Chain A
Amino acid sequence: MPAVPGRTLVAYDLLILSKGARAAFGGPRDRLLLLIAAPLLLLIAIEGAGSVSATLGEVPAPGRMLAAMLAGLAPNLAIGRRLAHLREHSAVAAAALRREAAAAYAIFWNAFPACLAMALFLAGTGSVAEAAALAPPLLLSYAAGAAAAFAARRAHAAARLGLARRRAARGERRPLRLTAPSRRRRVADLIASRTGLPRLPLGANMLAFTALGALATASSLLIHADPGRAEAFAALAFLLLFALLLRQQAAVLRYLLFLGDAPAGAALVPLALAGSLAVGAVAAAAGTGLGKPALAAAAALLAFAAAALLRGLHHAVRPRRAADLAIHLDFAAFLVAGIVLPWLALPLLAVRLFLLHRQAQTLRHIAP
């Protein structure tokens, strides 16, 4: 029987996914949390899908094409990144390097997002005939988005190579793995590689973040004269910045865990940068009549610390992908608890952190 192209790659990823999910919900407490959160999340997803679909139904056809194109862009950026990893660092590199296998792999992982996008876009149409007429151009738009994602990856790689060549021409040496002179320098390297910031010491990055916090607050005041709207804009900007800080944290965190730092201590590394952001914001907001900036900053920092701890502890006790999955589900569960039973959310978070911390204390090796 001839081999199906891409079968090895898909089987490899499905095995990792299924075992990752099992690892994420291996303990009875994890399963209990899933049991409570899953039906709620499903209800929210169905409700959300219905409302998105109804909104999309009112959007004219060109708008829907554009949305379908964007829907094709996001998953294919992730697929391209995964394929690049499989080609260089995996035991299935030989399969990932074969053109037809890579194409089959990409088609497989596009099936679900493409079907989901089509269902959302077509559910709001008036009749079956209208849906049938709209489906082919929507699919083509999705495919164009997918192609754009792969083109964007190639362009990004070329741009990065160009930047690296210019740096090399200026005589900057490439950093060697595990030979950086000190841990602090290495952490600065990691922060830089994840955020695109210059490769500066932690103190210099803190100063940069203070300036960024001040800039974000000042810009929100400039954009909106109305204090209420300015506050909302500033809150949104900080939410995004905090989310970006949490995103870059995983690599730093796992490096520190690898070096033997305590999980809680390692998890709170980006708190210094989040704190710098808050200091900048409070300084810029002083005397502008913007709500109670110090109180809002303190609350935001507490929430950030809790989120960072949760991430840190999950990464200490699970492999990377299982940790990512568990973190997303935990965040969703706490969000749902905060909306449905607000008084339960904080005790639930405290218990979760305590249990994870106890589990992390007993570990000898961290999962890669």
Chain B
Amino acid sequence: MSLSFALQDVAVERAGVLAVRGVSYANDAAGWIGIVGANGSGKTSLLRALAGRLPIRSGRILIGGAELGRDRAARAAAIGFAVDAAMLPGELTPREVFAISARARDAVDAPALARLREALGIDAFLDQTCGTLSAGMGQRVALFAACLDLPRIVILDEPFNWLDPLTAYDVKAALRGLVAAEDLTLVTALHEVATLTACCSRGLLMADGRIALTIEQDELRAGLSDPTGFEAEMIARLRGARG
């Protein structure tokens, strides 16, 4: 069963600036939500705040109907979140990171993740220390750690950065499978319109800390028939939203 979440007039402050300004959004069904926007538009701050990694300055965050706006620990426990790959402890191996990540949320490795694990190819470097991994390998470790105990909501910030095209393709397929089979709500910040149209059930366009536009699934699927035209239209909307 999917877990609903809602943001009500949420504001997040980063370095004295309101990076997120009064965002309201409600999601009550499993699916893949893609957030696109320019650098500095507030995507990362919004995702980190939702996952409890940052405090909110004002507003409410409801997860499964419970108000958790002031309870970062409960948000972090309820939501899987991929840490910045550069922040993985260089001394530990992915196997150790997974063991400790699962323990932190009092859960165990889920067999449903076998396809994702295969797509990420992490078994090849499970016992190599994270400090010796390339950026792409580190990214794969961070992605898997976020999904480890199969939380109902998973947040991935620009998950396909540094991944080679083959791995990115397989990982997208595995994530789509997880969303469909496990009633997962996947929220990702994206920098590619192609992934938004091909994978997401809903798109959010962010500009200047606000959700400037919500794109529904039928519009996204329609974009598949003319990807170039759809991308041009999205870019025009982004420019308009910033202007």
Contact = CB atoms under 8 A, between A and B. Distances in A.
Contact of B14 (A15, A89, A174): A174
Given A97-B72, A321-B91, A368-B90, A91 B100 contact: yes
Contacts of A166: 16
Given A19-B91, A98-B73, A176-B39, A367 B53 contact: no
B214 interface: no
Interface stretch (A43-51, A157-165, A194-202, A341-349): A157-165
A365 B132 contact: yes
Contacts of A72: none
Interface in A112-165: 161-165
A260 to B, nearest CB: 13
B145 A91 contact: yes
A282 interface: no
A131 to B, nearest CB: 40
B91 A20 contact: yes
Most buried by A among B52, B76, B91, B101: B91
A305 B119 CA distance: 47
Interface string A3-45: 1000010011001100110010000000000000000000000
B104 A8 contact: yes
Given A16-B89, A23-B91, A88-B48, A174 B15 contact: yes
A51 to B, nearest CB: 35
Contacts of A97: 52, 72-73, 76
A90 interface: yes
B176 interface: no
A179 interface: yes
A368 B86 contact: yes
B215 interface: no
B133 interface: yes
Contacts of B130: 368
A97 B103 CA distance: 14
B228 interface: no
Contacts of B145: 91
Contacts of A367: 90, 129, 131-132
A365 B135 CA distance: 9
Do most interface residues of chain A lie in helix, strand or loop, or is the interface mixed?
helix
A167 B16 contact: yes
A88 B45 CA distance: 11
A162 B84 CA distance: 27
Given A15-B96, A91-B83, A179-B39, A368 B88 contact: yes
A89 to B, nearest CB: 4
B87 A368 contact: yes
Contacts of A12: 89, 100
B94 to A, nearest CB: 11
Contact of B101 (A91, A168, A321, A364): A91
Nearest to B48: A88
Nearest to B85: A368
A90 B83 CA distance: 6
Contacts of A320: 90
B97 interface: yes
Interface in A52-107: 87-95, 97-99
A8 B104 CA distance: 6
A94 B104 contact: yes
B134 interface: yes
A322 interface: yes
Nearest to A101: B73
Contacts of A322: 90-91
A131 B101 CA distance: 44
A164 B100 contact: no
Contacts of B97: 91
A89 B39 contact: no
A365 B133 contact: yes
B29 interface: no
A23 B89 contact: no
A89 B76 CA distance: 12
Nearest to B16: A164
Q: Which of B15, B96, B104, B130 has the most CB of A within 10 A?
A: B104
Contacts of B72: 87, 97
B172 interface: no
A92 B91 contact: no
A98 B77 CA distance: 10
Interface string B59-80: 0000000000000110011000
A319 B91 contact: yes
B218 interface: no
Contacts of A89: 53, 83-84, 87
7 contacts: A23-B91, A92-B104, A93-B52, A174-B14, A364-B134, A368-B88, A368-B131
Interface of A: 3, 8, 11-12, 15-16, 19-20, 23, 87-95, 97-99, 161-168, 174, 176, 179, 318-322, 364-365, 367-368
Q: Which 4 A-B pairs have the closest CB atoms?
A: A164-B16, A319-B90, A367-B131, A97-B73
Given A88-B48, A92-B101, A174-B17, 14 more contacts: A8-B100, A8-B104, A11-B103, A19-B129, A23-B91, A89-B53, A89-B84, A94-B76, A94-B77, A98-B73, A161-B13, A319-B89, A319-B91, A322-B91
